[in-house]
Amino acid sequence: MKKCSSCGNRISRWYIIKETLGKKQYPLVCDQCGQKLYFTARSLKISYSLVPVLPIVLLLLLLFHIPDWIAGVVILILLTSLFVIYPSIVQLTNDEERWF
């Protein structure tokens, strides 16, 4: 569970997923104190490296003529694991960091 570095408020996994994937709100805002929370540069690099995983898996499934129901199960497992892993990867900070 991530915490706001200003007030110590716990930020839930669901809030991170909802705000980053749903509303595309960046930076995140702490509910209690209103502090802007940024992703660390390392977190951004890792999360953007996860983006091509789904298209690569889809391409491999199409190339090897995998049956549709197996492909559906594989994609469902992949998406579920990404939703579980993503909030664990994210690290938050008060300062916006450069990528390079």
Compute the residue count for the chain: 100
Question: Helices in 10-52 by DSSP H: which ranges?
Answer: 13-17, 41-49
Tens-digit pLDDT profile for residues 40-53: 888 888 888 888 98
**In sequence order, what are the residues at sequence separation of 6 or more whose Cβ sits closer than 8 angstroms to the Cβ of residue 90?**
2, 16, 20, 39, 43, 47
DSSP state of 3: E
Tens-digit pLDDT profile for residues 10-44: 888 888 888 877 766 678 888 888 888 888 888 88
90, 23, 59, 89: CA torsion to nearest 10: 10
Is 57 in contact with 74 (CB distance < 8 Å)? yes
The pTM of the full predicted model, rounded to 2 decimals, is 0.74
